[in-house]
Amino acid sequence: MEKQLLLGDEAIALGAIHAGLSGVYAYPGTPSTEITEFIQTHPEARERGIRSRWCTNEKTAMEAALGMSYAGKRALVCMKHVGMNVCADAFVNSAITGVNGGLVVLAADDPSMHSSQNEQDSRFYGKFALVPILEPSNQQECYDMMQEAFALSERLKEPVLLRIVTRLAHSRAAVVTGEKRQQNAFSPSTDQWVLLPGIARQKYAALLEKQGAMEEEAEKSAFNRMEQGGNGRLGILACGIAYNYVKEAIGKEGHILKVSHYPLPQAQIQQLAHENEAILIVEDGQPVVEQDVKAMLGTGYKVLGRLTGHLPRTGELTPDNVAAALGKKCSTVYGKAQNVAVRPPQLCQGCGHRDVYGALRQIIEEMPDARVFGDIGCYTLGALPPFKALSSCVDMGASITMAKGAADAGLRPAIAVIGDSTFTHSGMTGLLDAINDNSPITVIISDNLTTGMTGGQDSAGLNKYEAICLGLGMDPAHLHVVTPLPKNIPAIAELIRQEIAYEGVSVIIPRRECIQTAARHAREKAKAQKAQ
Partner 1 sequence: MKKDIILCGVGGQGILSIATIIGEAATKAGIHLKQAEVHGMSQRGGDVQSNLRLSTETIYSDLIALGSCDLIISMEPMEALRYLPYLSKDGVIVTSNKPLVNIPNYPEEKKLFEELAALPHVVQLDIEQVAKEAGNARGANVVLLGKAARYLEIVTPEQLREAVATIFARKGEAVVEANLKAFDAANEG
User: Which residues are near partner 1 by CB under 8 A?
Assistant: 5, 7, 30-31, 33-34, 114-115, 167-168, 170-174, 241, 243-245, 247-248, 318-320, 323, 330-348, 378, 381, 385, 453-455
What minimum distance in Å lies between the beta carbon of 488 and partner 1? 23
Min separation Cβ 318 and partner 1, Å: 6
Q: Closer CB to partner 1, residue 182 or residue 338?
A: 338
Q: Which is nearer to partner 1, 19 or 241 (CB)?
A: 241
Identity of the residue, 49 or 345, whose beta carbon is nearer to partner 1 in the bound complex: 345
Q: Are strands 255-259 and 225-227 parallel, antiparallel or unpaired?
A: antiparallel
Whole-angstrom Cα distance, residue 525 to residue 410? Answer: 51
**3-state secondary structure at position 399:** helix
Q: How far is the CB of 393 from partner 1 (least distance, A)?
A: 12
Distance in Å, CB of 344 to partner 1, minimum: 5
Q: How far is the CB of 429 from partner 1 (least distance, A)?
A: 26
Sheet arrangement for strand 133-134: 21-26, 74-80, 103-109, 160-165, 133-134, 261-262
How many Å separate Cα 399 from the centre of its chain? 20
For partner 1, the closer CB: 172 or 478? 172
How far apart are CB 363 and partner 1 at their closest, in Å? 24
Q: Which residues pair with 75 in a beta bridge?
A: 23, 103
Complex with partner 1: residue 91 or 379, whichever CB lies closer? 379
Give the nearer residue to partner 1 in terms of CB position, either 373 or 379. 379
Least distance to partner 1, CB of residue 391, Å: 20
115 within 8 A of 170, measured Cβ to Cβ: no
* DSSP 8-state assignment for residue 439: -
The dihedral through the CA atoms of 431, 402, 84, 110 has a sign that is positive
Q: State how far the alpha carbon of 104 is from the alpha carbons of 13, 64, 174, 190, in Å.
A: 12, 13, 23, 21
Cβ proximity to partner 1, 113 vs 194, nearer residue: 113
Cβ atoms within 10 Å of 196's Cβ, excluding its own: 8
Of the two residues 42 and 48, which places its CB atom closer to partner 1 in the complex? Answer: 42
Q: Considering beta carbons, is residue 384 or 468 the nearer one to partner 1?
A: 384
Task: Give the span between the Cα atoms of 249 and 326, in whole angstroms.
Answer: 8
Answer for the pair 65, 75: CB distance below 8 angstroms, yes or no: yes
DSSP summary character for residue 72: T
Closest approach of Cβ 161 to partner 1, in Å?
A: 22
Residue 207 or 325 with smaller CB distance to partner 1? 325
Alpha-helix runs per DSSP H in 372-427: 398-408, 420-422
Omega into 263 within 30° of 0, i.e. cis? yes
Q: Which is nearer to partner 1, 248 or 437 (CB)?
A: 248
Instruction: Name the 3-class secondary structure at 418.
Output: strand
The region, left, alpha or beta by phi > 0 then psi within -120 to 50, assigned to residue 164 is: beta
Task: Name the helix (H) or strand (E) containing 322.
Answer: helix 319-325
Residue 135 Cβ vs partner 1, minimum distance, rounded to whole Å: 15
The length of the chain is 532
Cα separation, 517 vs 350, whole angstroms = 13
Q: Virtual CA dihedral for 11, 15, 18, 21, nearest 10 degrees?
A: -120
Name the minimum Å distance from CB 35 to partner 1.
12
Residue 333 or 477 having the CB closest to partner 1: 333
Distance in Å, CB of 349 to partner 1, minimum: 8
39 neighbors 464 (Cβ within 8 angstroms): no
Q: How far is the CB of 346 from partner 1 (least distance, A)?
A: 4
Query: Taking the mean position of all CA atoms in its chain, how far away is CA 277?
Result: 38
**CA separation for the pair 243, 249 (Å, rounded):** 10
Instruction: Sort residue 152 into left (φ over 0), alpha (ψ -120 to 50) or beta.
Output: alpha
Strands 234-239, 278-282: pairing kind = parallel
